[in-house]
């Protein structure tokens, strides 16, 4: 039996997609992501980068197989923001399998949001377990193609 996802992936909206982040290490990745995210939500990028570093120290986000999913609750944030980052050359992070990370998803939620973000993390985790899907993501040429992988058009969805 084929264990890969036979249906199209569950639709996941990303408010920001960084399709090819060229960095050498985790510190540079967090700084570059903070710069992009800070501009879109109106928060100081240094504060955001420091929050990424703190969160990663206390609760490592790497899941293995080149994947990391991080969650941050932010005061002043009005609505959830999901961020997808594909890192050009995989970087070392504290991974259970010692594989470098090249796909990083960041879920930002308002501070008083509660635990609803857990559903998003669970959906992302299930979706990214599909090796064929991850291969498509890694081979995607741009933001539009990555977005289409996570949100296939109705005509491309497989009937249930």
- Which CATH number fits the domain that encloses residue 58? 3.40.930.10
- Domain span at residue 21 reads 16-149
Please report whether residue 6 resides in a domain.
no
Asked, for residue 77, whether it belongs to a domain, the answer is yes
pLDDT of residue 116: 79
For the chain, how many structural domains are there in total? Answer: 1
Task: Quote the pLDDT of residue 33.
Answer: 97
DSSP E strands in the chain: the ranges are: 16-21, 62-64, 67-74, 81-91, 101-110
- In angstroms, the CA 117 to CA 130 distance is 21
Q: Is residue 35 part of a domain?
A: yes
Which distant-in-sequence residues (6+ apart) come within 8 Å of 108 by Cβ?
37, 41, 71, 72, 73, 74, 77, 80, 81, 82, 83
The strand order across the sheet containing 81-91 reads 16-21, 81-91, 101-110, 67-74, 62-64
In a domain, 20, yes or no: yes
Q: Is residue 1 part of a domain?
A: no
Q: Is the dihedral of CA 141, 87, 10, 159 positive or negative?
A: positive
d(CA 109, CA 100): 26
Closest CA to 89 of 100, 81, 99, 98: 100
Helix 131-139 to helix 117-128 angle (10° resolution) is 90
pLDDT given for residue 4 in this prediction: 42
The CA distance from 133 to 108, in Å, is 23
Consecutive 10-residue runs of the chain (160 residues): their mean pLDDT?
A: 44 93 97 94 93 95 95 89 97 95 95 83 92 95 94 57
């Amino acid at each position: 039996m084929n264990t890969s996802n036979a249906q199209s992936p569950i639709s996941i909206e990303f408010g920001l997609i960084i399709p090819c982040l060229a960095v050498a290490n985790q510190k540079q990745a967090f700084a570059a992501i903070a710069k992009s995210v800070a501009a879109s939500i109106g928060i100081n990028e240094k504060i955001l980068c420091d929050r990424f570093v703190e969160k990663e120290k206390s609760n490592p986000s790497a899941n293995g197989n080149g994947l990391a999913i991080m969650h941050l609750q932010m005061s002043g944030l009005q609505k959830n923001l999901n961020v997808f980052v594909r890192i050009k050359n995989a970087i070392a992070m504290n991974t259970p399998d010692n594989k470098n990370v090249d796909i990083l998803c960041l879920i930002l939620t308002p501070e008083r949001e509660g635990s609803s973000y857990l559903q998003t993390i669970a959906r992302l985790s299930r979706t990214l377990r599909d090796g064929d899907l991850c291969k498509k993501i890694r081979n995607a040429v741009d933001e539009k193609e990555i977005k289409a992988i996570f949100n296939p058009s109705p005509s491309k969805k497989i009937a249930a």
